[in-house]
């Protein structure tokens, strides 16, 4: 009996691929760049499952071209690249990889916070470019204190709470904005729930950890940036469209806020002529918050386990849309 066909839209760590190959006939997209929409349509034709990445836009047209598709195993915690409503309508299950990347993502958010506040990237360039001509000066590369400062967590899910735990180690005052109260989180970290505007006014560091949806798209706009302190920093490793990039550029250029650290952009990869990239008070990265060897390997195993569970008659542990699985 032939094995079910699975398409993997990019090479994932070997631990996950080996697990998949034990159960399925697996085709892996061989290129570093993602498949085009037409290539994706061609590759998933006849497949019963696929492993997708955030860069794969899986809309109604793609789903319509794959009548045999039963499950999409997303290699990420977010899944805003997938039309989940259309997948559900077609009886296609969608899974993701939550929890496994929480700590790595929180590490990176805090690393970016520290890098922009203490001007780590600027200092690196300063030395490499031969600008370090005086051994020491009282005003050289002055940054902002992190220890004892106030951090505002926008979105107190797994990653937001993990960032707060790191902030606690720096004796930071923790504010958070969330659609619901988190009493256990408050007890653990001393965090205080506030409205978004109050958080923006009080925080020295604003760290974004919300999913992208209709409520969060453009959440941080010109009006909200204007509420922040001139000495405050914005950290975003959630989704690019949560922030109005033009408004952010204007706020940074004018000195309305002190700086920003971005792992995500409105369009990815962001073009080299993005004005934000010209600013010294911005630290940037190419959407790599979860990019540690161990975390990416665990994510690969998790997508494989989601697919195996589904095709052996079990509900996957990380099902985004439980409706189709009940049919």
Report the DSSP pairing between strands 205-208 and 71-74.
unpaired
Residues 153 and 266 in one domain: yes
Residue for token pair 């792992």: 263
CB 5, CB 47: distance < 8 Å: yes
Q: Residues 10, 239, 296, 298: which is the catalytic one?
A: 239
Q: Can you give the C-alpha Rg of the chain in angstroms?
A: 22
Residues 30 and 154 in one domain: no
Residues 264 and 127 in one domain: yes
Residues 90 and 107 in one domain: no
Q: Tokens at residue 311, please?
A: 């095709």
How far is the C-alpha of 56 from the C-alpha of 9, rounded, in Å? 8
Sign of CA dihedral 267, 272, 277, 278: negative
CB 231, CB 258: distance < 8 Å: yes
Peptide bond into 239 cis (omega under 30): no
Number of Cβ within 10 Å of residue 146's Cβ equals: 19
The reply to whether 31 belongs to the active site is no
Q: Residues 42, 188, 195, 268: which is the catalytic one?
A: 268
At residue 260, the 3 state secondary structure works out as strand
The reply to whether 239 belongs to the active site is yes
Structural domain count of the chain: 2
Residues 114 and 254 in one domain: yes
CB 291, CB 104: distance < 8 Å: yes
- CATH (domain of 317): 3.40.50.720
Q: Tokens at residue 193, please?
A: 């729930």
Residues 90 and 158 in one domain: no
pLDDT of residue 311: 96
- Domain limits for position 217: 102-284
Q: What is the 3-state secondary structure (H, E, C) of 105-169?
A: HHHHHHHHHHHHHCCHHHHHHHHHCCCCCCCCCCCCCCCCCCCCCEEEEECCCHHHHHHHHHHHC
pTM across the whole model: 0.92
**What are the residue ranges in the chain where pLDDT is below 70?**
1, 325-327
pLDDT of residue 322: 85
Q: Tokens at residue 214, please?
A: 């209709």
Residues 236 and 129 in one domain: yes
Q: Residues 119, 193, 209, 287: which is the catalytic one?
A: 287
Residues 127 and 57 in one domain: no
- Report DSSP letters for 32-62, one per residue: SSPPPHHHHHHHHTT-SEEEE-TT--B-HHH
CB 214, CB 242: distance < 8 Å: no
Residues 90 and 202 in one domain: no
CB 282, CB 252: distance < 8 Å: yes
For the chain, the distance separating the N- and C-terminal CA atoms, rounded to the nearest angstrom, is 25
Report the DSSP pairing between strands 173-177 and 192-193.
parallel
Residue 152, Cβ density class (10 Å: 0-12 exposed, 13-18 middle, ≥19 buried): buried
pLDDT of residue 326: 59
Residues 125 and 90 in one domain: no
Encode pLDDT of 187-243 as tens digits. Answer: 999 999 999 999 999 999 999 999 999 999 999 999 999 999 999 999 999 999 999
């Amino acid at each position: 009996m032939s094995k079910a066909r699975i398409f993997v839209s990019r090479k994932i760590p070997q631990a996950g691929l080996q697990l998949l190959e034990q159960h399925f006939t697996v085709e892996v997209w061989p290129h570093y760049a993602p498949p085009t929409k037409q290539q994706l349509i061609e590759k998933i034709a006849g497949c019963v499952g696929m492993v997708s990445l955030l860069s794969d836009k899986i809309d109604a047209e793609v789903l319509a071209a794959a009548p045999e598709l039963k499950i999409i195993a997303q290699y990420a915690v977010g899944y805003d690249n997938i039309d989940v409503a259309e997948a559900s309508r077609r009886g296609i299950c969608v899974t993701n990889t939550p929890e496994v990347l929480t700590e790595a993502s929180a590490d990176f958010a805090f690393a970016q916070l520290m890098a922009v506040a203490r001007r780590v990237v600027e200092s690196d360039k300063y030395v490499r470019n031969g600008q370090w001509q005086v051994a020491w000066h009282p005003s050289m590369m002055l940054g902002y204190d992190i220890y004892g400062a106030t951090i505002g967590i926008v979105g107190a899910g797994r990653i937001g709470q993990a960032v707060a735990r790191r902030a606690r180690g720096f004796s930071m005052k923790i504010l958070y904005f969330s659609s619901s109260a988190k009493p256990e989180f408050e007890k653990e970290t001393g965090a205080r729930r506030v409205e978004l505007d109050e958080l923006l006014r009080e925080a020295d560091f604003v760290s974004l950890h919300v999913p992208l949806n209709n409520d969060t798209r453009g959440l941080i706009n010109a009006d909200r940036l204007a509420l922040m302190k001139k000495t405050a920093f914005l950290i975003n490793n959630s989704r690019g469209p949560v922030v109005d990039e033009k408004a952010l550029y204007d706020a940074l250029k004018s000195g309305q806020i002190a700086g920003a650290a971005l792992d995500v952009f409105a369009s990815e990869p962001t073009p080299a002529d993005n004005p934000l990239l010209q600013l010294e008070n911005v630290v940037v990265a190419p959407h790599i918050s979860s990019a540690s060897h161990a975390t990416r390997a665990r994510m690969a195993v998790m997508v494989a386990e989601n697919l195996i569970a589904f095709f052996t008659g079990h509900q996957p542990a990380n099902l985004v849309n439980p409706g189709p699985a009940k049919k």
